């Protein structure tokens, strides 16, 4: 079985616990204005097989295991190739390899159900809690995304990743609404706050596209601390 992919990383330190082998699949149904992998939106012609992924991983397996790492599948949106990810994670479970899915949740509920049944952990990227802001940032509604997260919350270990974009999705009202939504789930997930940065702007320019968030300042420590305080005061655990 093969999947269309963008790239791989053998020393992933921000995509799950420990040090990880990260597979970035290509293709995405969102159009995030802040995306730092603009070149991953379209499905590439490059393919990779499950055997190749496991072979790559096993070259450094002792190293990954010593660091309590494993394999993370990211994107693009990996749920668009759910059959591949499900089978890869099934093979990993049989072989004792820790797996993490990094998803925005913008996919069919059936796809999420398939993959999550074999994922040891899930990083769930929520771009905005306000639906109109989400549409502004991604070109799509967040309703199915929130519905998918509601279903997923008690199925496996979930960490919600919320990107802080100053003056767009980080108001006191937005963060409060995020806290209320998370607390309404059967299991309240922990939250990781990610600061907005424009490091991927050059990719947009290389592809001949104007960068949509030109002029929006990057999130600083104060922005993150403000959101952290709002969440923790409402009982949300922030990593």
Nearest to 133 by CA among 159, 110, 167: 167
Q: What is the mean pLDDT of the chain?
A: 95
**181: Cα within 13 Å, side-chain hemisphere:** 22
206 vs 89, which has greater pLDDT?
A: 89
Residue 36: per-residue pLDDT = 84
Cβ count within 10 A of residue 225: 11
- What is the pLDDT, as a whole number, of residue 44? 82
Task: Tell me the three state secondary structure of residue 47.
Answer: strand
The pLDDT value given to residue 82: 98
Distances (CA, A) of 57 to 10, 95, 98, 101, 210: 8, 12, 12, 16, 37
Q: What's this model's pTM, rounded to 2 decimal places?
A: 0.95
Beta strands (DSSP E) in the chain are 2-12, 20-25, 47-49, 70-74, 99-103, 121-126, 157-164, 190-195
The CATH architecture annotation of domain 2-232 reads Alpha-Beta Barrel (3.20)
Q: Give me the pLDDT at residue 163, please.
A: 97
Predicted confidence (pLDDT) per residue in 68-82, tens digit: 999 999 999 999 999
Q: What residue ranges do the domains of the chain occupy?
A: 2-232
């Amino acid at each position: 079985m093969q999947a269309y992919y963008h790239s791989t990383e053998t020393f992933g330190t921000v995509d799950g616990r420990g040090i990880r082998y990260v597979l970035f699949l290509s293709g995405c149904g969102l159009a995030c204005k802040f995306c730092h992998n603009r070149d991953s939106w379209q499905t590439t012609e490059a393919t990779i097989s499950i055997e190749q992924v496991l072979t790559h991983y096993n070259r450094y397996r002792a190293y990954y295991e010593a660091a309590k790492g494993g394999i993370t599948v990211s994107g693009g949106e990996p749920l668009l190739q759910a059959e591949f990810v499900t089978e890869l994670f099934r093979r990993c479970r049989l072989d004792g390899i820790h797996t993490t899915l990094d998803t925005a949740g913008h996919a069919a509920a059936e796809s999420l159900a398939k993959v999550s049944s074999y994922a040891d952990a899930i990083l769930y990227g929520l771009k905005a809690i306000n639906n109109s802001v989400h549409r502004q940032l991604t070109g799509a509604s967040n309703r199915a995304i929130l519905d998918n997260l509601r279903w997923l919350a008690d199925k496996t270990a979930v960490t919600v990743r919320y990107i802080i974009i100053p003056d767009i999705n980080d108001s006191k009202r937005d963060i409060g609404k995020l806290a209320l939504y998370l607390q309404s789930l059967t299991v309240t997930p922990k939250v990781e706050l990610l600061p907005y940065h424009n490091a991927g702007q050059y990719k947009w320019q290389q592809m001949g596209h104007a960068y949509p968030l030109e002029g929006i300042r990057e999130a600083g420590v104060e922005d993150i601390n403000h959101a952290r305080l709002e969440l923790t005061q409402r009982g949300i655990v922030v990593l």
